[in-house]
Structure 1
Amino acid sequence: MLVHPQFNPVALDLSPIGVPLAIHWYGITYLVGFGLFLYLANRRIRQPQFAATGWTRRDVEDLLFYGVVGTVIGGRLGYVLFYKAGYYLQHPLEVFAVWKGGMAFHGGLLGVLVAMALFARSRKRHFLEVSDLVAPCVPTGFAAGRIGNFINGELWGRPADPSLPWAMVFPQAGEPSVPRHPSQLYQFALEGMLLFVLLWLYARKPRAMGQVSGAFLFGYGVLRFVAEYFRQPDSFLEPQPLGLSRGQWLCVPMILAGIALWLWARRRAAAAPTAQPA
């Protein structure tokens, strides 16, 4: 049975040399995620279906800026509304205390969707063209974030059989003798690396506009739904219907939306008139 190493969340503390700055591992993982997005998106715009419509490196950089803003605002508001609405209703000023933590993926996703819509409008591009470009470039950012969760020893898993070779005790959980699933690493592998590989391979060939986005919604929803069986639900949440977690219920509309979008895109492409040779 393993024990979480309890890493120092501060990767580099400059205060001993008179600089009031501490660089956290979690911040580094965010930077890694953004850097991977730039690299992958710049590879995507060189693919024929995007190169033909004039995408540039400047577009990718601007899109990243929109996405960062959408992630931060949407992730924070999602946490406030989806998970602790009652608390923040009583303490409204703490909504802005982002340094205390509290971000929600599903809220971040909604924020990114709004940001992409604004970007698409500013560039006079179809929203689904933008989302199809972005979708395969996102899971590596999820993977980086989950490594940050593991380093911080947060979002630990449910209790596990002590005979499980990688069962891990998280002293931060307040139960130092209870082995748990290292669910952060499960999510790194599933909704991070596995989803990236599947989407990247799927998106290498030209697809009907909207199909890559639909595949992303479906794939993330399914893989996150599975991972939630191993992740310990937040203690402040009430039991959810059917024994599912709040995260699983939030994945259901993603899965359904992904299926609907993929089927709609396929029908739309099939119904489009094809050019006849002269």
Structure 2
Amino acid sequence: MTPLLIDFPVFDPVAIAIGPLAIRWYALAYICGIVIGWFYARSLLKKERLWGGPAPVSAVQLDDFILWVTIGIILGGRTGYVLFYNLPHFIQDPLDIFQLWNGGMSFHGGFMGCVIAVIWFARRNGLPILSLGDITTAVAPIGLLLGRIANFIKPELWGRAADPDLPWAMIFPTDPTHLPRHPSQLYEAGLEGLLLFCILAVMIRFGALKRPGFILGSFVALYGAARIVSELFREPDPQLGFLWRGMTMGMLLSVPMLIVGAILVIRALRKPSVHHATPSLQAQP
């Protein structure tokens, strides 16, 4: 019986080429994720009903913050990959750390880079840390969606071996085993990207931004859960394999996110909803 497989669509690794300038899909995903997220964040700031009054962050401050969070994503993501996923290799060849075009970014490291950027920028500009964190995580699934699609296009980070009769099983051209595998990059794009974005958008629609830290905590916890589920179908990194009790590095790094996210959500719910007074409603002296 011939296995029911989907032929892997072969993509040119270069998305845009203008003379000697070449932009790969991986870089394009980061660029588009940041730009689209920036526009979405600005649209959230304009809607006072979502905040119970004027947003605690201005559009100008958000524009300045974009550079900070971009640096946090890149430095944190690369640092996380070096430390968590392939430290022996980079100790042996430290110059490879700077070869970002070859891939190798850790979400958990990038997230920590964003946390540092949020705290640092908020303190320097007198902004509420939790509200700035809410805005940042509200748009984060956009970048995750595009990043996972870029992983699929490359292709890298493919799934575990699948039942050959699975209708959507694929043989990835870069896989030396040529086994039918789960397209786990697309699973992650759906769970960590599209589904998570929709859930957070519904929460925002029903006033979640009026409770500082609620969207931040929800993102942290829900991403942790989505990542753990996705890791059940994703092939572990070959240099690491399975770790404690058959868990992968992605699972181990996501477990603390479930705990921290739950704590943030509970704290946000215990505090009264914030209603920022507009000038017309403020008490007159």
Q: Same fold (TM over 0.5)?
A: yes
In the aligned structure 2, how far is the partner of 1:163 from the partner of 1:97?
Answer: 39
Counterpart selection for 1:125 from 113, 122, 127: 127
With CA pairs under 8 Å and 6+ residues apart, which has the higher RCO, 1 or 2? Answer: 2
Which SS does the other structure have where 1:138 is aligned?
Answer: helix
Indicate the residue corresponding to 2:14 in structure 1.
Answer: 10
**What displacement does 1:244 show?**
1.1
More off after superposition, 84-93 vs 239-248: 84-93
In the aligned structure 2, how far is the partner of 1:246 from the partner of 1:234?
Answer: 8
In the aligned structure 2, how far is the partner of 1:33 from the partner of 1:96?
Answer: 22
Indicate the residue corresponding to 1:39 in structure 2.
Answer: 39
Which SS does the other structure have where 1:63 is aligned?
Answer: helix
Indicate the residue corresponding to 1:211 in structure 2.
Answer: 214
**What displacement does 1:64 show?**
1.6
In the alignment, is residue 180 of structure 1 matched against residue 167 of structure 2?
A: no
Which SS does the other structure have where 1:198 is aligned?
Answer: helix
Matches within 5 A, 1:84-163: 84-163=86-165
Which SS does the other structure have where 2:15 is aligned?
Answer: strand
In the aligned structure 1, how far is the partner of 2:159 from the partner of 2:124?
Answer: 42
In the aligned structure 2, how far is the partner of 1:50 from the partner of 1:88?
Answer: 49
| Gaps in structure 1 of 5+ consecutive residues | 271-278
Retained in 1: the 8 A contact 2:224–2:255? Answer: yes
Indicate the residue corresponding to 2:251 in structure 1.
Answer: 248
Retained in 2: the 8 A contact 1:45–1:51? Answer: no
Matches within 5 A, 1:253-268: 253-268=256-271
**What displacement does 1:109 show?**
0.3
More off after superposition, 199-208 vs 182-191: 199-208
**What displacement does 1:104 show?**
0.5
Seq. identity, %: 40
Q: In structure 2, what residue type is equivalent to 1:189?
A: G
Indicate the residue corresponding to 1:61 in structure 2.
Answer: 63
In the alignment, is residue 200 of structure 1 matched against residue 201 of structure 2?
A: yes
Which SS does the other structure have where 2:272 is aligned?
Answer: helix
| Gaps in structure 2 of 5+ consecutive residues | 274-285
**What displacement does 1:23 show?**
2.0
Retained in 1: the 8 A contact 2:56–2:127? Answer: no
Which SS does the other structure have where 2:9 is aligned?
Answer: coil
In the aligned structure 1, how far is the partner of 2:207 from the partner of 2:221?
Answer: 19
Which SS does the other structure have where 2:174 is aligned?
Answer: helix
Retained in 2: the 8 A contact 1:44–1:50? Answer: no
**What displacement does 1:227 show?**
0.5
Indicate the residue corresponding to 1:171 in structure 2.
Answer: 173
- With the length of structure 1 as denominator, give the TM-score of the two structures: 0.90
Q: In structure 2, what residue type is equivalent to 1:78?
A: G
Counterpart selection for 1:232 from 226, 232, 235: 235
- With the length of structure 2 as denominator, give the TM-score of the two structures: 0.88
In the aligned structure 2, how far is the partner of 1:145 from the partner of 1:153?
Answer: 12
Q: After TM superposition, what 4+ stretches of structure 1 lie above 4 angstroms from structure 2?
A: none
Q: In structure 2, what residue type is equivalent to 1:235?
A: P
Retained in 1: the 8 A contact 2:76–2:109? Answer: yes
Which SS does the other structure have where 1:269 is aligned?
Answer: coil
In the aligned structure 2, how far is the partner of 1:110 from the partner of 1:205?
Answer: 28
Indicate the residue corresponding to 1:276 in structure 2.
Answer: none
**What displacement does 1:238 show?**
4.2
**Would the alpha carbon gap of residues 254 and 41 (structure 1) be closer, same or farther in structure 2, given more than 3 Å must change?**
same
In the aligned structure 2, how far is the partner of 1:268 from the partner of 1:242?
Answer: 38
Which SS does the other structure have where 2:23 is aligned?
Answer: strand
Q: CA RMSD in A?
A: 1.8
**What displacement does 1:53 show?**
4.1
In the aligned structure 2, how far is the partner of 1:262 from the partner of 1:210?
Answer: 7
Q: In structure 2, what residue type is equivalent to 1:9?
A: P
In the aligned structure 2, how far is the partner of 1:220 from the partner of 1:263?
Answer: 17
Q: Deviations over 1:61-102 (max 9, x none)?
A: 222211110000000000011111222223333323323321
Retained in 1: the 8 A contact 2:56–2:131? Answer: no
In the aligned structure 2, how far is the partner of 1:219 from the partner of 1:47?
Answer: 25
